[in-house]
Chains A and B, each alone.
Chain A
């Protein structure tokens, strides 16, 4: 791949996203204080000692942000992988198999999607024990409906192409058709979608945590940090805005990368890249 051909916006997106990943990976090493360590007064302003100030019970906000990045990105990432694995495999299978397999799965997805995701998540979380595993599974399954729809639509389009028919006539099996004929041609829209799903997961997780139904204290994550510090807003203390700002920056960066990948779709030789 030629790096000169990457537009500036995508480059900024890639750099910022890698920055966040780096912080998430090495949070315990680079964070100045301990995650739950109370090191100062409540809501201290930004200073040399506390670059971003302190939070509602006197913990270092920068430290919390770094650990928060770790939790948020990790959970959103795992949920995205689950949602993607489930959604794309089922979507492809439905498209290639057709018939009643497609019927049953598509109607089930229609049904799941007829209830807004957040509302359904609230329903389920009202009875299930609030732990990490529940959160990841609920988020992953609910979101996989979107991935299913997209991958099915893309695969159906490709499945009617003459080259797929040619492969069938040649006597190729289901595996070859999915992995060698369809997948390479579906890759760019799916990778772009991967980015968008990841953003959605970050927003979704943050929303749940903000509502008090996601990550439980003292574990740090960006959504619950907003919740914890929101009362400061009325006193003019911006502590609650900082995690929100981080979410926005991460989301925009990933969006820039996804946009660029999607725009490259028309480049048919891009399969090697």
Chain B
């Protein structure tokens, strides 16, 4: 039975780009791509953003998103080259032999149609079964994928179910016509960590039960290691390494793959709390518009030169805590003291000195910088505002800061649009350092970045902490990051503090249920990890 289902031979993918103010020109997105997939096999495609992994995955359906074109090579599905079969041939292939699960199921369902109609649409279209049979199969799949109330959930509209549920429904939609191959395009990336594990397990079970083959596209090596038989590592549109999952995880040959496997391996020695905290949050409660309480009775301390990590999923209130501390959202109860002095609850009442001491770095570096200002202006403004620096003196200090973030003087006249994602975040770090603050709030600063770039940022933050003796309040959903950077940890769930203390205490058993769930949900770069976790869970994730 070991015949080839999918065979990609020397595929080349290009696109025409239209940069503003320049002539349109062609670029190559991926080249020299060759792979074979046997029936019932799962192959993981892994790479950073820009590696061309989605584009290559969609080539199995001969589909180019936007202006993308498959310009050379062959894509053979069930014995025929699908690049040559014409529009009618493609319609027979898509939805019948190959189906697709996208990253954002929420956007991929038609908002004006009931789920059931959409799930069985393909089956009916290709005349694969009667409507009744198709609906029965859909209900079976809903049940197999762990959707609540499988009999009736199909009558709902997409906006009436949660994100995790939609992702499962989309998987059911892909499985319904009994295809030979499913292309999964980052199906769990948009979900919360604890939900991700459940959906991942459901997808894995469905793949095993139906014997369908799959291309599983993701940027997260630990995730793909749980579901795939083989892994193909991609970078800049080229193949880097290909092998069995075990080979890639346990004995990667290429240097790039080795780096990917060892990402998140930064070590950080925990520091003991000093006598006086630099910032104390005491019994803070807060709500938006007075209606729903998003924070209740939270108290934490941050010590000079140390890092407090606040972990939680979306809706846990961790970002709200940051807004309260910065004064953007005055709390309804409680108080905040900075170096022993009480801070005004609202931003407009704080002194410029208080503002200087407390800086913030954002998740999305590209929207945290004014696109019309140069790097020099962005970093120079705090120097002007807080220290009255002008001209050559200011420029000298900006260059020093650029050196500190390992970028250098040549970037001083560039605009944010001319920087890479990692460089943008570094400039934001420099901007906050320019104020010489005592505390920097880092709001998910690495979660929009590729793993290796994120590691670089974390290393830089740790190094700077030593030099500048600055404290961090590090907000994140990613426990791996927490382990590598923090001195103390606060775990938040639905607006409350569920666990708080030194890193070594918080990460040591016995755990409360939620912390256990959260800790166990961080994908580990280990074969068979998913099964272990699912077997040991005590609590359902919030996203279901």
Contact = CB atoms under 8 A, between A and B. Distances in A.
Asked if chains A and B are in direct contact (CB within 8 A), the reply is yes
Interface of A: 2, 5, 161-163, 165-166, 168-172, 180-181, 184-185, 263-264, 266-271
Contacts of B362: 162, 166
Nearest to A161: B367
Given A181-B370, A268-B417, A269-B417, A166 B21 contact: no
B372 A169 contact: no
Most buried by B among A162, A168, A180, A185: A162
Contacts, number: 63
Interface string B200-228: 00000000000000000000000000000
A272 to B, nearest CB: 9
B20 A267 contact: yes
Contact of A169 (B20, B360, B381, B416): B360
A166 B20 contact: no
Nearest to A265: B20
Given A162-B362, A268-B417, A172 B370 contact: no
Nearest to A162: B368
Contacts of B435: 170
B372 A184 contact: yes
A271 B326 CA distance: 31
Given A165-B328, A264-B21, A170 B368 contact: no
Pairs A-B, 5 closest by C-beta atoms: A271-B372, A184-B372, A267-B20, A162-B368, A171-B355
A170 B373 CA distance: 16
Contacts of A170: 355, 381-382, 385, 435
Contacts of B347: 168-169
B370 A185 contact: yes
Given A184-B370, A264-B20, A269-B415, A172 B360 contact: no
A5 B20 CA distance: 10
B18 to A, nearest CB: 10
Task: Classify the interface of chain B: helix, strand, loop or mixed.
Answer: mixed
B20 A171 contact: no
User: Interface centre among B358, B370, B382, by most A CB within 10 Å?
Assistant: B370
B352 interface: yes
B352 A162 contact: no
Given A169-B328, A170-B381, A171-B352, A185 B371 contact: yes
Given A166-B360, A166-B362, A170-B382, A268 B372 contact: yes
Contacts of A162: 362, 364, 367-368
Nearest to B378: A163
Nearest to A1: B21
Contacts of A264: 20-21
A163 B21 contact: no
Contacts of B370: 163, 180-181, 184-185
Contacts of A169: 326-328, 347, 355, 358-360
Contacts of A5: 21
Nearest to B348: A168
Contacts of B21: 2, 5, 264, 267
Interface in B336-393: 347, 350, 352, 355-356, 358-360, 362, 364, 367-373, 381-382, 385
9 contacts: A162-B364, A166-B360, A166-B362, A168-B347, A181-B370, A264-B20, A267-B20, A268-B372, A269-B417
A148 B43 CA distance: 55
Nearest to A185: B372
B421 to A, nearest CB: 15
B279 to A, nearest CB: 15
B443 to A, nearest CB: 9
A259 to B, nearest CB: 14
Given A169-B347, A184-B370, A185-B371, A266 B364 contact: no
Contacts of B385: 170-172
Nearest to B358: A169
Contacts of B359: 169
A55 B104 CA distance: 67
A170 B416 CA distance: 19
A108 to B, nearest CB: 24
A5 B21 CA distance: 6
Contact of B415 (A168, A171, A268): A268
Contacts of B358: 169
Contact of B369 (A163, A168, A269): A163
Contact of B371 (A168, A171, A172, A268): A268
A163 B368 CA distance: 4
Contacts of A271: 371-372, 415
B419 to A, nearest CB: 11
A248 B279 CA distance: 66
Contacts of B431: 166
A165 B329 CA distance: 12
Given A171-B355, A264-B20, A267-B21, A166 B368 contact: yes
